[in-house]
Amino acid sequence: MARQKTIYSCQNCGFQSPKWLGRCPDCQQWNTLVEEQPTTTSSHSRALPQPGKPQKLAEVSSSEEDRLSCGMAELDRTLGGGVVPGSLILVGGDPGIGKSTLLLQAFARLAQNGTALYVTAEESTRQVKLRADRLGIKTDHLYLLAETSLEQIKQRIKELQPAFLVIDSIQTIFTSSLDSAPGSVSQVRECTGQLMIQAKGDGLPTFLVGHVTKDGAIAGPRVLEHMVDTVLYFEGDPGHPYRILRAVKNRFGSTNEIGVFEMQEQGLREVSNPSELFLAERPKESAGSAVVASLEGSRPLLVELQALVSSSSFGTPQRTAIGIDHKRIALLIAILEKKVELSLAGQDIFLNVAGGVRLDEPAIDLAAIAALASSHLNRVINPHLVLFGEVGLTGEVRAVSQPELRVKEAARLGFTQCVLPQGNLKNIDSPDSIKLIGVSHASEALEVIFA
């Protein structure tokens, strides 16, 4: 009897090899290749329920998709305005971060618009019911199903005809058409593909919960993120109650929007004014503290940057950054030494974004430089002063996008002064309660701040 052929698939990136390898040549990860049976051609012969035909571009309707509100403004904001019928949404995050809690709360409110089916493949229906009782969820239109077989799930969908569907989680679902174990590359890819056909064909909005690896990426093949319409990451520092819902892919909206939640005993509470929350415990008269007006999508955020500069007792000074790219901080330190002539070579430097937020835009450069200089010189920055601006390698302060939004948010929270790039002063309509100070160089900015 002929030996059945097998292949080895990388569980991290989906690379396939006819023999086992210790290290994946594609993603360079060790011990990720697992033996599987090759997928038959028939398992990939899927098609949409209604075959498409070519259309002229002018004949294609460009009307906006009808969106359904989740009843949670922060989730709607991240999705681009609500749930689009037929969309496939992948939600990832660390274990225990609150993914199941978020979706259970959202589906309890979505159930007011139609029947919702919550497929729990990792927990029993009793466990989900206990969580629902803790969250105070009471609805007759939310159905629970504890099942891991894709064929059984599709059968229950056909019988119930739900208006909304959630799969928690996609890594535990398997199809009998493949012999590989649940969570393998082929199983995740095949199950997601069939759920995508179901969502597009029936117009069924589907949420998939995805596990994450130790590196923070969603487990399974990279093609999983390409197949879905929207990818959401639920982030949060275990030491803080705040959670950030961030879109990294969205075919129906912007990927720059974020939703802010606070984890409480009764579940996740939406934070409609995150700036006020992040600045609630800011020290008033302490060196090394600066407030930056950052922008996440269309939402301005005022966040405190804290810096600590102290003499190093080791040969190599430490450089630690939390919530900011450490390479960006190394660049700003070099600018302070070369262009502003601050001696930081023998200093340990620590920079932290208070509240567990992560900031990636270059507009935080000016505030980071101010916080570092404040700690090094032991000079206190005016607590009613806010900063924003990008700093170039020659020390120049460059203009950033949407300065008016940042200034208005600062004025609303009671700030009376704003240091911003000189290029942003043109045609900006600011409130009378805040004074704008334009600067063109980092050294000029420090002179204004510590005048």
Binding residues for ATP: 93-100
Beta bridge partners of 218: 212
**CA distances (Å), 79 to each of 40, 90, 261, 276, 330, in order?**
36, 11, 15, 24, 35
Binding-site sequence positions? 93-100
**CA distances (Å), 158 to each of 151, 162, 176, 204, in order?**
11, 8, 18, 11
Peptide bond into 169 cis (omega under 30): yes
Pull the structure tokens for residue 392.
């170039």
Q: Are 143 and 116 in contact (CB under 8 A)?
A: yes
Residue with tokens 């990388």: 10
Phi and psi, residue 20, nearest 5°:
-75, 140
Helix ranges (DSSP H) in 54-184: 73-79, 99-110, 125-135, 150-160
Neighbours of 275 (CB within 10 A): 21
Q: Are 301 and 259 in contact (CB under 8 A)?
A: no
Helices then strands, counting H and E runs in the chain, come out as 11, 21
